[in-house]
Amino acid sequence: MSLQISKEERENRELVLTIAVDQARVDQELRKAARKVAVDYRIPGFRKGKAPYHVIVQQVGLPALYNEFVEALGQTVYKEALEQEQLDPYARASLEDVKLEPMLTYTLAMPLDPKIDLGGYQALRVEEDPIAIDEAAVEMRLDEYRDQQAGWVTVERPSEYGDKLNLNVRSVLIDEDGSPVLKEDGAESVVLDESDWDVTPDQENPMEPPGFDEALLGMNAGEEKEFVLAWPAEGQSIYAGKQARFQVKLNQIQAYAKAELTDEFAQTIGPDFATLDDLKESIRVTLREQAKGQAENVYLEKVLDVILAQSKLVYPPVVIEDQIDSMINDMEMQLRRFGIEDMEAYYRQTGQNPDQMRASLRPQALQQAERNLIISEVLHTENLTNSDEEIEQRINTLLTGNDAETAGQLATMFRQESGRAILESQLLREKAISRILAIARGKGDEVPAASATSDTGDSTAESATHNGDSGADTQTVEATESATTTEMPTVDTEATQP
């Protein structure tokens, strides 16, 4: 039974489908719904399942009967409409309206594939910034190693703030005339009586009573000192308003010192470093590799933005919405690593709501989604493909370092249809990125190869392009599977009845 379908394309690559269902089919569904209602509910004056159709309609109303089938029928007729009109949706359609009269009619907005004109991208050349290693960064890394080797060392000089001082201290409360305050048993009222006591004078967080830190400054190891200090009357101490005589002997002064930059120091960092110069060169090599990876990401973003500036892109709104969904999913996974249960918990802690979060992510999502569309279009334009050997090589790379059981499970997963599709997508995307970079560097004749350096760092190479062909990573494959779904959102006839 054919459907009455009208189509209208909007400017933003959405196709509005208006699907009218034949009344005979609707009547058939209404009667099936009525029979179900008659069995499930008691109709006054009739046995269960025996009430005639018109009585059931009078009792429960047509909207209630529609509610029994309109969603399931909507899914069915949507699939039929796609087949009848030979339509291939880019993503899941959104239901915009359901009308029950004069005919049951569904109105949906179906996303269409983006239209992308890359212009003359193959003639594009983009200058690449040279990679430079800042010697200050080398010194900073050396300083980090020195911090790791730092420790307390005994020094022969007067004490300073920040030193660790080993003291013998005895203090007793005294009267205004300087005589000791005696307890009921005639003993002195002792405040402190410590031997081998380690303290660190701190100008920012002084000890009590006020002046104790300052009294310890300038002393030498072996020196003894006597002084009187008082606690403020308005203080919280149990000795507030009282004074005490302190007898101090400084046993040892230690300073926190970093290791000296010598060949011996370099040898403590690792067996491969015979001299300090060996260590410095190793740091330079590491920094150069890190800078190279970062520069590659920055260069890719620069190239993609240049291509974007000369391209024409028309795509449905779902492209951006899906990108935002992907970013929120990534954020939720990161939050779980920090012990935050889910986004709802995050919203409660930050005072945000989902709409505010989506609005804040939209500018970044727009940038990333459009870059992804460029990568996907290059993939299609260049007709990039994978060989079975390349897939197997990637599988073997992923298995490296795992135990036999884990490797076997991973191998099985990646050789199955869905797992293989993920790897296909990753490899093709990497090839597309390699191709883009080769063109921008004036090496367009080179055959692109998948490379681990194709990650753009800020999810440009990780986010889903949501294209029906495999042109992205795992997220893209998942998005592609949902893109071609023929399911339709839930409908509520109570809200849409005439």
pLDDT at res. 225: 95
pLDDT in tens, 308-347: 999 999 999 999 999 999 999 999 999 998 888 889 888 9
Q: Which residues contact 184 (CB under 8 A, 6 or more apart)?
A: none
Domain count, the chain: 3
Residue 198: per-residue pLDDT:
95
This prediction has a pTM of 0.66
Residues 316, 417, single domain; the answer is yes
Q: Are 317 and 91 contacting, i.e. CB atoms less than 8 angstroms apart?
A: no
**Domain match, 225 and 342 both:** no
- Is 409 domain-assigned? yes
The answer to whether residues 168 and 249 belong to one domain is: yes
Residue 454 predicted with pLDDT over 80 = no
Among 91, 112, 133, which residue terminates a domain?
A: 112
Among 234, 257, 280, where does a domain finish?
257
pLDDT at 487: 56
Q: ω before 102 within 30° of 0 (cis)? A: yes
Residue 497 has pLDDT above 60, yes or no: no
Element (H, E) at 442: none
What residue numbers bound the domain in which 206 lies? 151-257
Summarised one tens digit per residue, pLDDT across range 191-237 is 999 999 999 999 999 999 999 999 999 999 999 999 999 999 988 88
Residue 450 exposed, middle or buried by CB count within 10 Å (0-12, 13-18, 19+): buried
Please report the pLDDT score of residue 488 as a whole number.
53
Query: SS in 3 state form for 394-427?
Result: HHHHHHCCCCHHHHHHHHHHHHCHHHHHHHHHHH
d(CA 248, CA 227): 9
Phi, psi torsion values for 89, nearest 5 degrees? -65, 145
Residues 469-480: pLDDT tens digits? 323 333 333 333
pLDDT digits (tens, 9 = 90+) for 2-39: 789 999 999 899 999 999 999 999 999 999 999 888 88
| Residue 462 confidence (pLDDT) | 34
The terminus-to-terminus CA distance of the chain in angstroms comes to 25
Residue 210 maps to a domain: yes
Q: Is residue 491 over pLDDT 70? A: no
Q: Is residue 456 pLDDT above 70, yes or no?
A: no
CATH of the domain at 80: 3.30.70.1050
| Mean pLDDT over the full length of the chain | 86
**pLDDT bucket at 260, cuts 50 / 70 / 90:** confident
Q: Domain with 180 in it: what CATH number?
A: 3.10.50.40
> Higher model confidence: residue 495 or residue 87?
87
Q: Rounded to an integer, what distance in angstroms lies between the CA atom of residue 498 and that of residue 495?
A: 9
Please say which residue of 57, 84, 112 terminates a domain.
112
340 and 474 share a domain?
yes
Q: What percent of the chain has pLDDT over 90?
A: 63
Cα angle for residues 415, 419, 422 (degrees, 5° grid): 125
Residue 284: inside a domain: no
pLDDT at 384 over 90: yes
Residue 17 lies in a domain: yes
Q: Are residues 226 and 375 in the same domain?
A: no
Highest mean pLDDT among 115-119, 146-150, 466-470 belongs to: 115-119
Under 8 Å CB-to-CB from 188, ≥6 apart: which residues? 172, 173, 180, 181, 182
Indicate if 431 and 331 belong to the same structural domain.
Answer: yes
The predicted structure's pLDDT at residue 445: 66
DSSP for 372-385, please give it.
Answer: HHHHHHHHHHTT--
Average pLDDT over residues 281-289: 93
Same domain, 203 and 90: no
Cβ neighbors of 238 (< 8 A, separation 6 or more) are none
Residue-level pLDDT at 480? 34
Q: Which residues of 254-277 are buried (b: 16+ CB within 10 A; e: fewer)?
A: beeeebebeeebbbebeeebeebe
In a domain, 39, yes or no: yes
| Residue 69 belongs to some domain of the structure | yes
Shared-domain flag, residues 251 and 321: no
pLDDT in the model for residue 472: 32
Same domain assignment for residues 332 and 468: yes
For the residues 433-453, what does the mean pLDDT come to? Answer: 74
**Coil/strand/helix, residue 91:** coil
Q: What pLDDT sits at residue 39?
A: 81
What is the pLDDT, as a whole number, of residue 186?
85
45-54, 141-150, 296-305 — which is least confidently predicted? Answer: 45-54
Distance CA 111, CA 467 (A): 11
Measured over the CA atoms of residue 222, residue 226, residue 232 and residue 235, the dihedral's sign is positive
Give the pLDDT score at 495: 36
Question: Based on the domain organization, do 107 and 155 belong to the same domain?
Answer: no
pLDDT computed for residue 319 by the predictor: 95
Whether residue 412 lies inside any domain: the answer is yes
Q: What is the pLDDT of residues 386-432, one digit of tens each?
A: 999 999 999 999 898 888 888 888 888 888 888 899 999 999 999 99
Q: How far is the CA of 218 from the CAs of 158, 208, 214, 452, in angstroms?
A: 5, 19, 9, 59
Q: What is the pLDDT of residues 355-366, one digit of tens each?
A: 999 999 999 999
- In this structure, is residue 404 part of a structural domain? yes
Please indicate, yes or no, whether residues 249 and 320 belong to a single structural domain of this protein: no
Residues 158, 107 share a domain: no
pLDDT value of position 452: 40
